[in-house]
């Protein structure tokens, strides 16, 4: 029996993202497009590629990104803890646009601009270098990642499943983001796969870098592995 919710009911999909991942950014733009053609509400959460890669041998060319990546996710988790989960959507949208479209980097300037764009207090920038936020960050990270395992990165999506357990999966990794009904058709297929008992993996090698479409929904690269390495 299919566990895909009836189309008349709104599905809440929870997506775990790290703002610096280009593939997660594209998937999140697809999710916003799906909202326009399917009864879907996307709820954003933060995972951390820096947390994910702790204790792993990271190739030298990616090590600085792992270090620099702490700042923006700490600010995201501080904003969530202080002002509620709903602030993550506009904050992530602002960070993603600045990082991936404007090439603004991962530093304090980008973060401050994103806070202003999202209408959040400027003093949240103080969380960028405050490791006391790492505990809540790790908890949020593990909430998203535990159901799918440690061998995947971002994005991770959870949708309601049978018996109150989420149907959780990594991906889809795609570029560019489908638009209109094509976005909805892909969502239907993803739900069908995710709800199939015993289904684990469908994968092929990537043959292109991330494509950022200026028409992607924002509510308002560089080739990389979705595990941040």
Q: Kindly state the tokens that stand for 152.
A: 């995947």
* Model confidence band, residue 213 (pLDDT cutoffs 50, 70, 90): confident
Q: In what order do the strands lie in the sheet with 11-17?
A: 40-46, 11-17, 156-160, 166-170
Residue extents of the structural domains in the chain: 11-194
Question: Three-class SS of residue 158?
Answer: strand
Cα-to-chain-centroid distance, residue 216: 15
Residues 97-102 have a mean pLDDT of 96
Question: Could you say which architecture CATH assigns to the domain 11-194?
Answer: 3-Layer(aba) Sandwich (3.40)
β strands within the chain, DSSP E: 11-17, 40-46, 156-160, 166-170
pLDDT for 214 equals 54
pLDDT, tens digit, 9 for 90 and up, residues 150-196: 788 999 999 998 887 889 999 999 999 999 999 999 999 999 999 99
pLDDT, tens digit, 9 for 90 and up, residues 217-226: 665 333 344 4
């Amino acid at each position: 029996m299919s566990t895909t919710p009836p189309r008349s009911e709104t599905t809440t999909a929870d997506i775990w993202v790290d703002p610096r991942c280009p593939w997660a950014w594209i998937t999140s733009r697809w999710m916003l497009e799906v909202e326009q053609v399917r009864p879907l509400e996307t709820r954003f959460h933060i995972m951390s590629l820096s947390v994910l890669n702790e204790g792993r041998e990271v190739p030298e060319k990616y090590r600085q990104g792992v270090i620099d990546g702490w700042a923006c996710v700490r600010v995201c988790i501080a904003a969530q803890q202080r002002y509620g989960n709903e602030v993550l959507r506009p904050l992530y949208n602002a960070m993603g646009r600045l990082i991936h479209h404007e090439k603004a980097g991962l530093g304090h300037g980008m973060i401050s601009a994103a806070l202003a764009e999202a209408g959040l207090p400027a003093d949240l920038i103080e969380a960028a270098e405050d490791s006391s936020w790492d505990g809540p960050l790790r908890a949020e990270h593990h909430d998203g990642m535990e159901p799918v395992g440690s061998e995947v990165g971002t994005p991770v999506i959870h949708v309601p499943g049978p018996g109150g357990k989420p149907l959780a999966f990594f991906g889809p990794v795609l570029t560019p983001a489908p638009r209109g009904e094509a976005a909805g058709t892909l969502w239907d297929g993803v739900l069908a796969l995710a709800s199939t008992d015993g289904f684990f993996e469908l994968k092929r090698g990537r043959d292109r870098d991330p494509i950022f479409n200026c028409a992607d929904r924002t509510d308002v690269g560089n080739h990389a592995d979705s595990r941040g390495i």
